[in-house]
């Protein structure tokens, strides 16, 4: 199959941005090179049983050494933009705040090369790799980490200024806060609801203050944040299931977007967990509510939610994603593209949103390299369906400016190690050979077809 969008599709207009995305820890490797200090993920990977297969990010895709040929590959796809993250441990590699010139020089090379090739640079400042020295001082449970992030944002924006087209302060603070501090499945591996909510508040506060800092050093760059959404759907129309679904959505989605857009946390969660609310100081909510130029939305799947059983520790329960008989990806996530359309239109109705970019969308598939080819038809169908939903949302009034496929290439998939492949490009980790999958070739053909539209 090939991707097909109607010639008058909103996505085929020249102003719509298509890109691919990666994250530093997932692809760079070289985790002790050129004064890079340990991150919380280096520490987490070293703990037995935390990452599938005992995998780590010490080599990953060796992008630290192969960055130039990877940019060649990005350019060959015909994308308008590349979304990458900067590794904080490469930039400020000591608790004394000393700036590491070698770290800045590495990203200088990448950013200058992308600009030379007219590929827009979308940078995420924080994609989960907190320097370990900050975690040792309390991590995202400490307001000192908020101050450290603002200093880091200053260093990056002062150095790169408008060479970066778009700055995102954070990628998916939900994951950093809840997976890292409440559920324990991501670094640093804590398991406390109170800590999860406190970490979330500090991440959002660091975002707001970071936006203000970045704007001091840029004149044209966009500044925003990237949130992930896995919307909950009620299993039945019972009062109990509907209530549980509301709690799920307030806790997992609106806890993050509502303070950004409206300067307040959802009341339902405050009522439900009064003793576990974060410590909030005067001016915090105003800072979090700082206007942004764009909102990045990451979407992969939905959850079906029901009232909790007797042994459930939450006030909602996720029905197994195998419940519907629907198609699932290799990571076990249901494929339900209409949920993306519904998410976008409902958020647009509820909030006064800035322009939106779909900053991640993709699928982990059971890919196999056979005779030099990867025929990843499931990913091709997945991307086709979701692109159509983005187009439909634009037609129905949502201001969406771009779409980034996750991911450019197979990489270190956090707690799943190297067992799951999200890439448009296959990586043989033993040789670092890159092979464009069928999905990459389809994506390239779609982007090339834009030039033929009158």
- Residues serving a catalytic function are 172, 360
Instruction: Report the alpha-carbon distance of residue 232 to residue 308 in Å, rounded.
Output: 14
Main-chain phi, psi angles of 419, to 5 degrees: -80, -20
DSSP 420: -
Is the CB of residue 68 less than 8 Å from the CB of residue 434?
Answer: no
| Number of other CB atoms surrounding residue 430 within 10 Å | 6
CA–CA distances in Å: residue 120 to residues 21, 166, 221, 368: 12, 8, 11, 32
Q: What is the DSSP pairing of strand 425-428 with strand 433-436?
A: antiparallel
- H or E element, residue 67: helix 63-76
Instruction: Report the alpha-carbon distance of residue 274 to residue 316 in Å, rounded.
Output: 17
Ordered strands of the 317-318 beta sheet: 232-234, 303-306, 317-318
Is the CB of residue 345 less than 8 Å from the CB of residue 398?
Answer: yes
Q: First vs last Cα of the chain: how many Å apart?
A: 24
Beta bridge partners of 166: 122, 222
192: CB partners within 8 A, 6+ apart: 181, 182
Instruction: Report the alpha-carbon distance of residue 275 to residue 411 in Å, rounded.
Output: 40
- 372 in helix, strand or coil? coil
Is the CB of residue 415 less than 8 Å from the CB of residue 51?
Answer: yes
């Amino acid at each position: 199959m090939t991707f097909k969008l109607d010639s008058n599709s909103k996505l085929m207009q020249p102003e719509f941005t298509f890109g691919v995305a990666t994250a530093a820890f997932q692809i760079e490797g070289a985790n002790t090179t050129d004064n890079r200090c340990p991150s919380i993920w280096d520490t987490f990977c070293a703990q037995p049983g935390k990452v599938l297969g005992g995998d780590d990010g010490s080599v990953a895709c060796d992008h630290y050494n192969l960055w130039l040929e990877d940019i060649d590959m990005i350019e060959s796809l015909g994308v308008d933009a590349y979304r990458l993250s900067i590794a904080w441990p490469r930039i400020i590699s000591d608790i004394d705040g000393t700036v590491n010139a070698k770290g800045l020089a590495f990203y200088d090379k990448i950013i200058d090369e992308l600009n030379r090739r007219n590929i827009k640079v979308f940078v995420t400042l924080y994609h989960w790799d907190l320097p370990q020295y900050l975690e040792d001082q309390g991590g995202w449970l400490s307001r000192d980490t908020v101050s450290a992030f603002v200093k880091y944002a200053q260093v990056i924006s002062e150095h790169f200024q408008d060479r970066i087209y778009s700055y995102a302060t954070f990628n998916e603070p939900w994951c950093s806060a809840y997976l890292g501090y409440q559920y324990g499945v991501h670094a640093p591996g804590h398991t406390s609801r109170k800590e999860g909510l406190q970490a979330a508040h500090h991440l959002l506060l660091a975002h707001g203050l970071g936006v203000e800092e970045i704007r001091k050093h840029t004149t044209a760059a966009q500044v925003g944040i990237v949130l992930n959404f896995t919307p909950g759907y009620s299993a039945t129309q019972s009062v109990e299931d509907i209530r549980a679904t509301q709690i799920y959505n307030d806790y997992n989605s609106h806890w993050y977007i509502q303070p950004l857009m409206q300067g307040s946390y959802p009341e339902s969660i405050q009522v439900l967990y009064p003793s576990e609310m974060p410590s909030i100081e005067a001016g915090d909510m105003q800072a979090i509510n700082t206007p942004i130029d764009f909102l990045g939305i990451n979407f992969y799947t939905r959850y079906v939610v029901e009232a909790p059983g007797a042994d459930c520790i939450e006030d909602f329960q996720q029905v197994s994603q195998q419940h519907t008989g629907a198609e699932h990806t290799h990571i076990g996530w249901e494929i339900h593209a209409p949920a993306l359309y519904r998410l976008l239109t409902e958020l647009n109705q509820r909030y006064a949103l800035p322009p939106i970019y779909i900053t991640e969308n993709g699928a982990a598939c059971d890919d196999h390299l056979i005779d030099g080819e990867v025929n990843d038809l499931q990913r091709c169908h997945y991307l086709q369906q979701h692109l159509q939903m983005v187009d439909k949302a634009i037609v129905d009034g949502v201001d969406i400016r771009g779409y980034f496929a996750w991911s450019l290439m197979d990489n270190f998939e956090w707690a799943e190690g190297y067992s799951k492949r999200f890439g448009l490009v296959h990586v043989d980790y033993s040789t670092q050979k890159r092979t464009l999958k069928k999905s990459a070739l389809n994506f390239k053909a779609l982007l090339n077809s834009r030039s033929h539209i009158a």
